[in-house]
Amino acid sequence: MQPLSLYQLNALVRDAVEQTFPDTLWVVGELSEARQAGNGHFYGEIIEKDADGRNVLARARIHCWARQYNILRLRFMQESGQELRAGLRVLLQVQLTFHEAYGYSLNITDIDASYTLGSLAQQRREILRRLDEDGILHDNQSLPLPPLTQRIAVVSASTAAGYGDFCHHLQHNPYHFRFSVQLFPAVMQGQHVEESILSALQQIADETEEWDVVVIIRGGGAVADLACFDTYHLAAAVAQFPLPVIVGIGHERDETVLDYVAHKFVKTPTAAADFIIGNQTAQLTALDRFSARIHDAATLALRNRQDKLRNVSARMPLAVLKYTFGCNHRLQLMSRALSTGASSALVNAAHDADRLSQRLQAAVPLMLERRRHSLDLLAQKVAQNDPIRILRQGYSITTVRGKVVTDAAQIQPGDKIHTRLAQGEIVSECQEKNTKTSE
């Protein structure tokens, strides 16, 4: 028989696979590898272990092309609430393929998320759906975490190793932060978990002002033991609690519904302590940063002021000299202006005096002539009214006791009457008088 080349052999295997498995199959297994390449294609590996979970009994390469994977991935996340990752048990619908160069692999065409979820996960999903419909799913997550989380109310079993680890980790933190921790005991395993934790939460709620944060912690255990935390009433109480709630239940691969509603969920009690210490450390770092910023700002401001002072000090002599020079220059200009102005004023005053002198020389003779003419007119009036001239016209002046008589009533019989004439004076005695005026 003529030997076959490897390619020929692989081609025969491919034909045999395609003929034997023409349709898709459902395969159960655990993802040991899961990754999405840069081109969007999904590549991974599915394995089956023995009953002890230690030995791998079978393995196969799996892949899913980008277009199909984007659809399956979105649906799987919506139904299961998680990504495809190593460690998940999955139920895959696959098409068997065999490539001459790459060998045997399974092309994923569908994923049954319900298988992965299992009964516990299905219950958890239903609780979360109800919380979301009630509008309280993210209430606790929206609460602000106090800057200083020092007063801590712990819900845990008093004998739990996890509680001891939590307290020890807080007390021996490398930053020497001080914490006030009080335990509110609760049953953390069995059928009374829900009512016990609800009772502890109610005690804390009655004294909310005394605490900064609530921590619910429990060590790891079997998945079945953690199912008691997946109840609607417990999840609703945590979601609506007035203080931020930190949940640390189980180990790294464990999940409960409380993880989805708490302000912060961590995997272990020690991790819860680390989170609180980390919050304090962040505040301390922020304070150090603010202190450094204040110091830098103050140093910069002081340096700027010192630079400005030095600049001012350096500019001061020149500024004074410049100011003095400017003042001297202005004084010189003013002096020149005054000198020029005074000379101009004196010249103008001299011109004014000359003009005034000329005007006076012309005005004085005219004024004197006018005054002479006025005097002549007055002289004529005086001459015309001279009493002697009037007396010469035949008039006389009669006086009695030195007073001029203008009315006969002024004279009494027997009075001496002096009559002044143009030439001489007559003295007579009144014998009779007539006060009636003749027409």
pLDDT tens track, the chain, 439 positions: 789 888 988 899 889 988 988 889 999 988 889 999 999 999 999 999 887 767 889 999 999 999 999 999 999 888 876 678 876 788 999 999 999 898 899 999 999 988 877 745 677 888 999 999 999 999 999 999 998 899 999 999 988 888 999 999 999 999 899 999 999 999 988 778 999 999 999 999 999 999 999 999 987 655 545 767 888 999 999 999 999 999 998 655 567 899 999 999 998 899 999 999 999 998 888 887 888 888 888 888 898 988 888 888 888 888 788 888 888 888 888 888 887 877 777 778 778 888 887 887 878 788 888 888 888 888 888 777 777 777 777 788 889 888 888 888 888 888 888 888 878 888 888 888 777 765 4
In-domain check, residue 376: no
107/145 same-domain check: no
What CATH number is associated with residue 230? 3.40.50.10550
Number of other CB atoms surrounding residue 382 within 10 Å = 9
Amino acid at 303: R
Q: Which of 90, 111, 132 is the last residue of a domain?
A: 111
For residue 138, the SS3 value is: coil
CB 63 within 8 A of CB 39: no
What pLDDT shows up at residue 65? 94
What pLDDT shows up at residue 81? 63
204/274 same-domain check: yes
What pLDDT shows up at residue 53? 66
In-domain check, residue 38: yes
DSSP letters of 314-368? HHHHHHHHHHHHHHHHHHHHHHHHHHHHHHHHHHHHHHHHHHHHHHHHHHHHHHH
In-domain check, residue 72: yes
Q: Give the total residue count for the chain.
A: 439
Distances, alpha carbon 38 to alpha carbons 66, 82, 242, in Å: 10, 20, 44
What pLDDT shows up at residue 69? 95
91/221 same-domain check: no
What CATH number is associated with residue 17? 2.40.50.140
102/181 same-domain check: no
What pLDDT shows up at residue 180? 95
What number of H helices and E strands is found in the chain?
Answer: 10, 14
What pLDDT shows up at residue 320? 81
What pLDDT shows up at residue 338? 82
In-domain check, residue 276: yes
The C-alpha angle with vertex 216 and arms to 215 and 221, in degrees rounded to 5, equals 140
147/264 same-domain check: yes
Provide the domain limits for residue 77: 6-111
Residue 244 has phi, psi (to 5 degrees) of -60, 135
100/171 same-domain check: no
**Measured distance CA(148)–CA(352) in Å, rounded:** 97
Q: Which of 229, 261, 282 is the last residue of a domain?
A: 282
Among residues 294, 249, 282, which one has the least CA distance to residue 148? Answer: 282
In-domain check, residue 197: yes
Sign of the Cα torsion 246, 252, 258, 259 reads positive
31/77 same-domain check: yes
In-domain check, residue 221: yes
171/240 same-domain check: yes
Q: Which of 282, 305, 324 is the last residue of a domain?
A: 282
Number of other CB atoms surrounding residue 305 within 10 Å = 10
Distances, alpha carbon 237 to alpha carbons 41, 200, 335, 369, 389, in Å: 42, 11, 96, 131, 147
Among residues 179, 130, 192, which one has the least CA distance to residue 153? Answer: 179
What pLDDT shows up at residue 119? 46
Tell me the residue ranges of DSSP E strands in 77-194: 89-99, 103-111, 151-156, 180-185
**Measured distance CA(147)–CA(230) in Å, rounded:** 30
177/221 same-domain check: yes
**Measured distance CA(113)–CA(72) in Å, rounded:** 10
Q: Which distant-in-sequence residues (6+ apart) come within 8 Å of 123 by Cβ?
A: 227, 230
- Total domain count for the chain? 3
262/162 same-domain check: yes
In-domain check, residue 404: yes
In-domain check, residue 32: yes
What pLDDT shows up at residue 424? 85
**Measured distance CA(178)–CA(276) in Å, rounded:** 11
75/38 same-domain check: yes
Among residues 225, 228, 226, 202, which one has the least CA distance to residue 214? Answer: 202
> What is the model's pTM?
0.47
101/168 same-domain check: no
